[in-house]
Amino acid sequence: MQGVTLDSPMNTLYDSDTFIVNHLLALAEDGTAEDAQAGKPVLLRHGFEIVDKRSGKELYLDGSWAELFQQRLAEWQRTTPSQEEVEDTLAQYAELAHTPIHVH
């Protein structure tokens, strides 16, 4: 993943046979500077990782893309969509995925 250490808090928001959605939280301000000085990659702001299990690719959303996705999640909390609706939306995002998944 882009600039993410194993120390970054990560919450799995969704996991199905087709997709996984993880919310990656930014590291605390005090830890970020220390990690950056040590040459470790750090996550400076929160983001979302969408993994398409079918294609073996992942997409990382941060910045304005993450904010838009966060709005979608808030909408889903209010409306409780069906699994099919969630999967259809994630499939649209997955079309943007070009990064193969690497397991370390």
pTM value is: 0.73
**Residue 34: pLDDT over 60:** no
- The string over 28-63, giving b where at least 16 C-beta atoms fall within 10 Å of a residue's C-beta and e elsewhere, is eeeeeeebeeeeeebbeebbbbbbbeeeebbbbbbe
- Per-residue pLDDT tens for 81-103? 999 999 999 999 999 887 777 65
